[in-house]
Structure 1
Amino acid sequence: MTSTLANPDTSRALTKLFDSVLIANRGEIACRVIRTVHELGLRAVAVYSDADVHAPHVHLADDAVWLGPAPAGQSYLDIDKVIAAAKSAGAGAIHPGYGFLSENAAFAQRCEEEGIVFIGPPAQSIEKMGDKITARATVESRDVPTVPGISRPGLTDQEIIDAAPDIGFPVLIKPSAGGGGKGMHRVERIEDLAKTLVSARREAASSFGDDALFMEHFVDTPRHIEVQIVADSHGNVIHLGERECSLQRRHQKVIEEAPSALLDEKTRSEIGQAACDAARAAGYCGAGTVEFIVSAKQPDRFFFMEMNTRLQVEHPVTELVTGVDLVEWQIRIAMGEELPMSQENIRLDGHAVEARVYAEDPAGGFLPTGGRIEELHWPTGSGVRVDAGVQAGQVVGSDYDPMLAKLITWAPSRQVALERLDKALGETVIDGLTTNLDFNRFLVTYPDVIDGRLDTGLLDRIVGGYEPTPTPAAAFAVAALHKILAASGTAAGETDPHGPATPRSPLGSQWTSADSWRGARKPAPVVYSFDDGSERGPRRVTLSPRDGEHNPGERVWTAQVEDAAQAVPGGSEEAVEGETVSFDVTVLGSPVPTPDLRLRIDEGTAQRWRVIGEHVFGPHGAFTLREFHGTAADAQDQAGDTPITSPMPGTVIAVEVADGATVAEGEAVIVMEAMKMEHTLTAAYSGVVSINVSVGDMVSTGDVLAEVDPDTDTNTDAAADEDAD
């Protein structure tokens, strides 16, 4: 599940203060921690909820303890249950991973009281740095620079509003108890501040149980740069370089890299020293991350944002450029060992980039998705690491964060690392779920990203230009060609090893023998139809043996790829308007029915293609093509009115309009919370709204929350205006 390029130093004897570690987490981070625990010769204990009975981390561990129902509050966030699990399993230490209880000071304190080693910082450090107002004051005592703003306990809305003109717009409203970018709001005008504060307090109270807010000036063209620090209990503190985390969507990191392309060596040293000073001010011990905001226009000016008192999601990029296993260091520090290296020994080698893979729909406002993973294929190759916590057959629900995996690549240079990541994303298949794989490819190939022109607003500015990558015509042709070759059964044992054996084809050996094509009678063209799930609908592929001479041993087909026919009233069919593409496909080498094919498209260079089941892998990425036996009309959604439905299970937290009110197209109607995020649902068109839910209602995927009776005149006029444009 995970290939790790930073391996634990098993040559160093371990000071065994404990021999078993309970991992109080799930998913990819639980799997990642378990692997290092095993490599250090320790016993790993997993915990799980009803939703994770068959999850990979449960099977990877030596022992597993059930916590309770799926809701995190009744399982992974229940301190009593986690402590009881550790005791029942005989675990002497608990690794919290990230999220859940990892930054809960009460949990760290409880571990100490129960005689269980908490693999993390002291409870006092977590508490001190967990409150952003206290954290600012703490680091300022060590002269660590902070962003101008107002940050004291108990600030009222009016006090924040009164301070805004002196701080200067734009401003950033932040929750004192927040973290991970959640609950932050940028405000451009004082007229919008009061309404934003109401929303920010509600979100902070819901997410963190504390509605305290503070305000900072918004730094122009900000870049999010964080520093990995490690401290031991003997007073040693070092940093392992920085990570660039500026590619964010709504303050949530998507792509991370190490080191930052922005910083020169002088600034890198200064920001690293500032991070170590912040850790010392907090009395820190363990691995932690100090986050800074840096102006892209003035990279030598940086300001403290917050400290994450845990392992970060993006820690693998640091591991790949330093060769350090951070989980190993966490465990050794928890056993009382000194840091194995001094600052002078830390060297950054090459460049690493990470992409977070989420179950979400980029074309649908990035709403979380769910479903059963029907098939799973991870990339391999030099410099590629996959940290994953899912497997084929697993059901992904809405109980937890929608992150499925992280793809990380390393290379000697940033350019090559980005190219490797694009290729790795293209080779990944997660069938059964809508994910952000294609969107991540859009990001890592975007010109500003390639050139290193980053800031935290870049992703939100360019997201409107994203369109899902269309399936290339060649992929449809390869899918059809593979079916022909797989069905030929020209030799025993040559069927697709990833699927059931296919009987000999009624097409006969004419289709696989180049010599037979030169006879008086050629085999007839073969037609297949495939659906890639796009709005365009199914495509029809016609493969015909090409006339004329070609090299001995080569088989050449002419492929024609076109939109399939669509049914029309009366039972007839008519062609759907669309592109028809014709090209030659040459099979190089023996056309045996194996997953791998070496092909030439027209007169181009040789290309390697691979077909596994319904998945076609080629130079442009991976595509899922299902054979289609109906008409295009069967594959299209029926037109009609679209009610406002719940895109996922969640809770209604606000109803923005009254029942019977008139709403405009795009106006907010319902706000719901799911997967720890707020989602605003809007009217698809103007009309009179009927509300079917109330605040606090629990809803399921597909539930009709509201309906809009269209204002026909208004919508007709709008359509006419569009046509006129």
Structure 2
Amino acid sequence: MFDTVLVANRGEIAVRVVRTLRSLGVRSVAVFSDADADARHVREADTAVRIGPPPAAESYLSVERLLEAAARSGAQAVHPGYGFLAENAGFARACADAGLVFIGPPADAIALMGDKIRAKETVRAAGVPVVPGSSGSGLSDAQLADSAREIGMPVLLKPSAGGGGKGMRLVRDAAALADEIAAARREARASFGDDTLLVERWVDRPRHIEIQVLADGHGNVVHLGERECSLQRRHQKIIEEAPSVLLDPGTRAAMGAAAVQAARSCGYSGAGTVEFIVPGGDPSSYYFMEMNTRLQVEHPVTELITGLDLVEWQLRVAAGERLAFGQDDITLTGHAVEARVCAEDPARGFLPSGGTVLRLREPRGEGVRTDSGLTEGTEVGSLYDPMLSKVVAYGPDRATALRRLRAALADTVTLGVPTNAGFLRRLLAHPAVVAGELDTGLVEREAAGLVPDGVPEEVYEAAAAVRLEGLAPSGGDGWTDPFSVPSGWRLGGEPAPVAFDLRVAGRDPVTRGARPGAEVSPNRVSVTVDGVRHTFHRAADWLGRDGDAWQVRDHDAVAASLTGAARSGADSLTAPMPGTVTVVKVAVGDEVDAGQSLLVVEAMKMEHVVSAPHAGTVTELDVTPGTTVAMDQVLAVVAPREEAQEEQA
């Protein structure tokens, strides 16, 4: 076993790898950009090395700086985690050239399976069924469009060089192919440095099932069962579980054997995942999609049902050990479900969010595991992936695991940064999810019903109670002037409510009076509304409950009107999320049509198109490509044309 391992990643996966290194008595080396100088993975590693400024291209994606860090720290091996350079064959080769062991598969296997076009051809030759699609690399836009029409709509555009849903586009209308191909290329280039695309037939209501494989360098390959990953939004997995309720023992064995064959076909070693698309109505008709040549985000559910530490076995295989078990030794016991907690705001269309973690509470307890990179004070920005943590629950059966995970998400508190924890909790209670009737489109179809329409009344009541508490005079000599207490007291009548003007972002302002009987402490506030007691976690102007959170600010209508009158309302285009402007398609003075794409803002590897609110003229443009913007920052102003103004009137 190695003495020292450098973890070439950040966030929860870096913390996760450090945990196993510590259990094995191996010294861990963290790396960090300036944005992560005080991050949790830096604190928990045995030592840490700075590798550059915040942009990933100058730090976590810099092969040269990572190798320098390994040399300075005396590391013998490098664990890449997932994301960043985990599936970069060039990085694996550079590690070998530097005398370092890359804790992952051989570089040739990464290169082969990282090219989805070559990967499909390779596994097809090995007898593994593949999804019908385009053939050949380096297709032009016109060739991609022709292939899509030949396959028949709908089709899925996919980057050849990467995974994780980045750059994937579902196209149902052939007329939209040109725009979608251009957007997919931009995202692929930004995420993987390669804009090569392929086209695949889209299977309606498919299930996404993947098989975990483990191989050593001595020719032994086993599979560790499957994971159901069908609950996705924008092609990104958000809930994963093991095993799948869809598969019977015969289909599980057949898919496992196909995954093992796919791994053998590329000379694989280490931990990897073979992903299949499965028609929900016919599980026996499964198709190979791709192979992820790394540890997967959802690996904990496999660990919980097999009792194996996959990171430990990655290390052992990389150190030259043989697998200590064969296929017949693998047993799947119980059920595990994982939820990905991400910095995104369901109330704002799931746009990426950011901020400072003001209060953190992560669930623990029987059958509950949390993998996290967070601490109180963590700054969540727009430079890196939005996933903050993973909450995982295990039980003897699926119903128990689901129940424990819902309770764990309700107990998750991340005040200061909007997350999807409450949304995930409601999703896990959806009848189709409870029944195991899943497909990759379920979340998109049901999302609107899983996002509350408004802000609960008790949230405003709690915020008013906090404001009232803040007005109470602090003691000094033991005597308080009763006229200085904002109690609403009045002569000859019931106390008058003390009113406060409040506002939640994206909602109209409200006025609420503080009710008697509220209990306020530095971390909690309780109020009674219509005879029901409601208790919230609190930090500054944030309130949280059952995984949901609200930032309730004071609202000054006069000040808002004075400062925002000139550049607000329907004419302004504002940043929907904190991020970077990547595309500007107009200039001041340009005439635009309603709905015309004007700018593109990117955050956390996600693009958002900002369109003209109405026909008119661009009168202001405050950004250029590369400009960093804050949420709700004004980007441009479009003055309506005369006819548009008449219609508005």
Q: Does the CA-based 8 Å contact 1:33-1:327 persist in structure 2?
A: yes
Map of 1:77 onto structure 2 = 61
After TM superposition, list the pairs within 5 Å mapping 1:124-203 onto structure 2.
124-203=108-187
Residues 1:689 and 2:618 are matched in the alignment: yes
Which residue is equivalent to 1:448? 432
Counterparts of residues 428-507 of structure 1 (less than 5 Å): 428-468=412-452, 472-473=456-457
State TM-score, norm by structure 2. 0.87
Q: Does 1:299 align with 2:283?
A: yes
How far does residue 340 in structure 1 lie from its aligned partner after superposition? Answer: 2.5
Contact 1:221 1:296 in 2 (8 A): yes
Mapped to 2, the partners of 1:209 and 1:621 lie a distance apart of 36
Cα distance between partner residues in 1 of 2:267 and 2:43: 37
Structure 2 CA distance for partners of 1:58 and 1:595, relative to 1, 3 Å: closer
1:653 alignment partner AA = V
Task: Identify the residue that residue 354 of structure 1 maps to in structure 2.
Answer: 338
Instruction: Determine which of 564, 583, 594 is the counterpart of 1:653.
Output: 583
SS in 1 for 2:32: strand
Aligned-pair CA distance for 1:609: 5.0
Question: Using a 3 Å threshold, how does the CA distance of structure 1 residues 415 and 507 change in structure 2: closer, same or farther?
Answer: farther
Superposition pairs for residues 320-399 of structure 1, below 5 Å?
320-399=304-383
CA displacement 1:487-535 (0-9 Å, x = unmatched): 99xxxxxxxxxxx999999699xxxxxxxxxxxx999788686957362
Which residue matches 1:496? none
2:413 matches 1:419: no
Q: How much does 1:477 deviate?
A: 6.5
533-542 vs 61-70, which deviates more?
Answer: 533-542
Mapped contact 2:187–2:605 kept (Cα < 8 A): no
Give 1:645's aligned amino acid: T
Cα separation, 1, equivalents of 2:633 and 2:156: 35
CA deviation after TM superposition for structure 1 residue 372, in Å: 1.8
The C-alpha deviation readout for 1:245-268, integer Å capped at 9, x for no partner, is 222222122222222222222211
Q: Partner of 1:243: helix, strand, or coil?
A: strand
- 1:698 and 2:627 aligned: yes
Post-superposition offset of 1:353: 1.9
1:112 matched residue in structure 2: 96
1:286 to 2:215 alignment: no
CA distance in 2, matches of 1:406, 1:277: 31
CA contact (8 A) 1:532 1:624 kept: no
Q: 1:255 corresponds to which residue?
A: 239
Q: Deviations over 1:624-680 (max 9, x none)?
A: 68696x77878999674352234323142351x565344344432112333323221
Cα 1:653–1:31, aligned 2, differ >3 Å: closer, same or farther?
A: same
Match of 1:663 in 2: 592
1:279, CA displacement in angstroms? Answer: 0.5
Report if the CA contact (8 A) 1:531-1:538 is conserved.
yes
1:22 aligned onto 2:6: yes
Distance in 1 separating the partners of 2:171 and 2:88: 30
Q: Is the 8 A contact 2:359 2:539 kept in 1?
A: no
Deviations 1:669-718 (A, max 9, x none): 1123333232211223442224626864433326543211034653663x
- Paired with 1:482 and 1:675, the residues of 2 have a C-alpha distance of 34
Residues 654 and 382 of structure 1: is their aligned pair in 2 closer, same or farther, counting only changes over 3 Å? same
Aligned CA RMSD, in angstroms, stands at 3.7
Task: Give the alignment partner of residue 709 of structure 1, picking from 633, 639, 643.
Answer: 639
Task: Report if the CA contact (8 A) 1:487-1:503 is conserved.
Answer: no
Equivalenced residue count is 633
Structure-1 separation of matches of 2:468 and 2:548: 20
Deviations 1:80-121 (A, max 9, x none): 111111111111111000011111111111211222111111
Deviation at 1:446, TM superposition (A): 2.8
Say which one has the larger Rg.
1
Q: Give, in angstroms, the shift of residue 231 of structure 1.
A: 0.6
**TM-aligned CA deviation for residue 58 of structure 1:** 0.7
Q: Does 1:211 align with 2:195?
A: yes
**2-side partners of 1:684 and 1:188: how far apart?**
25
Matched-pair contact (CA < 8 Å) for 1:486–1:502: no
1:579-658 aligned within 5 A: 609=535, 620=546, 640-641=568-569, 643-646=572-575, 647-655=577-585, 657=586
Distance apart, 1:393 and its partner CA: 1.3
**Counterpart AA for 2:291:** M
Instruction: State the match for 1:37 in structure 2.
Output: 21
User: Contact conserved, 1:479 with 1:611, CA < 8 A, in 2?
Assistant: no
What corresponds to 1:564 in structure 2?
none
2-side partners of 1:368 and 1:435: how far apart? 9
The 8 Å contact of residues 257 and 354 in structure 1, kept in 2 or not, is answered as yes
State the distance in 2 between where 1:197 and 1:51 align: 33
Paired residue type of 1:709: A
Structure 2 CA distance for aligned equivalents of residues 318 and 48 of structure 1: 29
Q: What's the offset of the Cα at 1:161?
A: 3.6
Q: Describe the SS at the equivalent of 2:419.
A: coil
Instruction: Give the % identical residues.
Output: 48
Cα deviation, 1:555-601, whole Å, max 9, x if unaligned, reads xx6x8xxxxxxxxxxxxxxxxxxxxxxxxxxxxxxx99897999999
Question: Contact between 1:427 and 1:617, CA under 8 Å: does it hold in 2?
Answer: no
Q: Distance in 1 between matches of 2:404 and 2:29?
A: 35
Relative to structure 1, is the Cα distance of residues 505 and 393 closer, same or farther in structure 2, using a 3 angstrom cutoff?
farther
**Following the alignment from structure 2 to structure 1, what is the Cα–Cα distance between the partners of residues 167 and 633?**
27
Counterpart selection for 2:504 from 529, 533, 548 = 533
Q: Distance in 2 between matches of 1:592 and 1:704?
A: 37
1:225–1:291 contact (8 Å) kept in structure 2: yes
Distance 1:230 1:507, change over 3 A: farther
Shift of the 47–100 alpha-carbon distance from structure 1 to 2, 3 Å rule, reads same
Instruction: Please tell me whether the aligned partners of residues 650 and 673 of structure 1 are also in contact (alpha carbons under 8 angstroms).
Output: yes
Q: Structure 2 CA distance, aligned partners of 1:397 and 1:536?
A: 27
| TM-score between both structures, scaled by the size of structure 1 | 0.78
Deviation at 1:152, TM superposition (A): 1.3
Gaps spanning 5+ residues in structure 2: where?
Answer: 483-491
Alignment CA distance shift 1:39-1:200 (3 Å): same
SS in structure 2 of the partner of residue 438 of structure 1: helix
Cα 1:365–1:502 shift into 2, 3 Å: farther
Q: Check conservation: 1:476, 1:625, Cα contact below 8 A.
A: no
Task: State the SS of the aligned residue for 1:149.
Answer: coil
More deviation, 374-383/132-141? 374-383
Change (3 A) 1:608 1:704: closer
On the 8 A contact 1:438/1:468 being kept in 2, the answer is no
Equivalent residue, structure 2, for 1:675:
604
Q: CA deviation at 1:151?
A: 1.8
Q: 1:186 to 1:307 in 2, by over 3 A?
A: same
> Distance between the aligned counterparts of 2:514 and 2:354, measured in 1?
35
> Given that residues 522 and 538 in structure 2 are in contact (C-alpha distance below 8 angstroms), is that contact kept between their aligned partners in structure 1?
no
Q: Secondary structure at the match of 2:504?
A: coil
Q: What CA deviation, in whole Å up to 9, does each residue of 1:33-88 have, x standing for no partner?
A: 00110011111111111111111111111111111111111111111111111111
Instruction: Specify the alignment match of 1:576 in structure 2.
Output: none
Cα drift, residue 273 of structure 1: 1.2
Describe the superposition over 1:337-368 as per-residue Cα deviations: whole angstroms up to 9, x where unpaired. Answer: 12232222222222222222222222333332
**Is the 8 Å Cα contact of residues 95 and 118 (structure 1) preserved in structure 2?**
yes
Q: Tell me, in whole angstroms, the C-alpha distance in 2 between the residues paired with 1:479 and 1:694.
A: 36
